């Protein structure tokens, strides 16, 4: 029988998790422990100085019963980049991938059927128990991976109202490409304000009018046969889904234009009938239904192209279309 999906995204976990420790200047062999608690010194570096980063990727149960990971090497590379930028020990690709695959194998019974998935949350923390290390990196670290059966983060087909935020930024501009907890804490005041004051589902961060990303996903404008999205920079997270959508869209005949664009251009495009999507591992591909720009709500005329792009990506993930980009790693 198919695994039931908890009502709250990310609230239940597979009982075991792999833990890789960095000690004595070397990564140690993987060990397995309960995923319900973790022994940590109260003085641990991550708890005081934010030496923490994480990843989010999914395993899918395909139509033929096989279980696959979607582009795990891309998430490993992004965590390696986050670790470098945070001066944390950089995880080794081989042991990291092996731990991911073995976790999904052990949690196979927890992988739900389409349209749900098993969400994987690798987390890297600095563990030095020395509170005097405010200006010094942690010499020791732990990498552990949680597995959680999840349904939709944003319910498919539900309204997706974005508040366009032009005054505040999501995080410090040099930290945007780092997937670290501090960036989400930094965005939270604006996310809560947008919900309370405008009933918005997400905030589209556009500091000084520069359209960047939302609090938990990338943003792509669809103007007829052209996709427009901000080029990769330090300011925002380099999404694996964003990259996948751009690849698939090119093969579907779209022109992909990675360029900076402003809120004024966005407003004019939407008024002229453009679509817009959010892309992310949790968000999947969520078509935007309206924007709040300068206090005014503007409806997006169509979600058709966004939904077609969503289908093109999820068909690969669930095995309804060929894995023509070699994105899937088969687990079992
Ligand atoms: C701030 C932010 N931007 C973009 C993304 C999309 O990244 P990905 O497609 O790799 O999940 C996420 C989600 O992980 C995110 O939290």
User: The domain that contains 44 carries what CATH number?
Assistant: 3.30.470.10
Instruction: State the pLDDT at residue 157.
Output: 84
Instruction: State the pLDDT at residue 4.
Output: 82
Q: How far does residue 21's CA lie from ligand 1's centre (Å)?
A: 26
Residue 212: pLDDT band (50, 70, 90) is very high
Q: Of the residues 56, 309, 314, which should be mutated to test ligand 1's pocket, given the most ligand atoms within 8 Å of the CB?
A: 56
Tell whether 313 and 165 lie within a shared domain: yes
Mean pLDDT of the chain: 97
Mean pLDDT of 144-160: 92
What percent of the chain is predicted at pLDDT more than 70?
99
**Where does ligand 1 bind, in terms of residues with CB under 6 Å?**
56, 213, 216-218, 237, 239-242, 279-281
Is 193 part of any domain? yes
Q: What is the pLDDT of residues 1-27, one digit of tens each?
A: 567 899 899 999 999 999 999 999 999
CATH number at residue 285: 3.20.10.10
Residue 270 confidence (pLDDT) above 90: yes
Residue 150 confidence (pLDDT) above 60: yes
Is 326 part of any domain? no
How many structural domains comprise the chain?
A: 2
Instruction: State the pLDDT at residue 2.
Output: 65
Instruction: State the pLDDT at residue 278.
Output: 98
Instruction: State the pLDDT at residue 280.
Output: 98
Tell whether 89 and 198 lie within a shared domain: no
Q: Can you give the pTM of this predicted structure?
A: 0.98
From 150, 176, 201, give the residue that closes a domain: 150
Please check whether residue 243 is in contact with residue 74, taking contact to mean a CB–CB distance below 8 angstroms: yes
Domain limits for position 25: 16-150
Instruction: State the pLDDT at residue 43.
Output: 98
Instruction: State the pLDDT at residue 156.
Output: 83
From CA 29, how far away is CA 77, in angstroms rounded? 20
From CA 192, how far away is CA 276, in angstroms rounded? 22
Tell whether 176 and 313 lie within a shared domain: yes
Atom number in ligand 1 closest to CA 281: 11
Q: What DSSP string describes 242-285?
A: HHHHHHHHHHTT-EEEE---BHHHHHHHHHTT-EEEEEETTTEE
């Amino acid at each position: 029988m198919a695994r039931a999906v908890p009502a709250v995204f990310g609230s239940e976990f597979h009982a075991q998790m792999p833990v890789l420790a960095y000690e004595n200047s070397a990564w140690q062999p993987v060990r397995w422990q309960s995923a319900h608690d973790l022994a940590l010194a109260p003085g641990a570096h991550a708890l005081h100085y934010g030496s923490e980063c994480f990843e989010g990727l999914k395993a899918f149960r395909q139509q033929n019963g096989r279980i696959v990971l979607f582009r795990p090497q891309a998430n490993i590379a992004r965590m390696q980049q986050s670790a470098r930028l945070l001066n944390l020990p950089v995880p080794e690709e081989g042991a990291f991938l092996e731990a991911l695959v073995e976790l999904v194998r052990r949690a196979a019974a927890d992988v739900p059927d389409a349209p749900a998935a098993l969400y994987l949350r690798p987390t890297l923390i600095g563990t030095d128990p020395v509170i005097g290390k405010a200006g010094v990196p942690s010499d020791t670290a732990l990498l552990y991976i949680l597995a959680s059966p999840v349904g939709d983060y944003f319910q498919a087909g539900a309204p997706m109202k974005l508040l366009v935020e032009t005054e505040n930024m999501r995080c410090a501009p040099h930290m945007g490409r780092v997937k670290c907890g501090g960036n989400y804490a930094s965005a939270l005041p604006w996310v809560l304000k947008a919900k309370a004051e405008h009933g918005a589902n997400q905030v589209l961060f556009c500091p000084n009018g520069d359209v960047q990303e939302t609090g938990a996903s990338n943003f792509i404008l669809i103007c007829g046969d052209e996709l427009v999205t901000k080029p990769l920079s330090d300011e925002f997270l380099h999404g694996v889904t964003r990259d996948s959508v751009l690849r698939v869209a090119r093969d579907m005949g779209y022109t992909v234009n990675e360029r900076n664009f402003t809120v004024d251009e966005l407003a004019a495009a939407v008024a002229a009938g453009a679509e817009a999507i959010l892309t992310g591992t949790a968000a999947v591909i969520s078509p935007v239904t309206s924007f709040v720009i300068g206090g005014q709500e503007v409806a997006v005329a169509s979600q058709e192209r966004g939904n077609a792009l969503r289908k093109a990506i999820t068909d690969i993930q669930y095995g309804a279309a060929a894995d023509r980009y070699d994105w899937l790693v088969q687990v079992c």
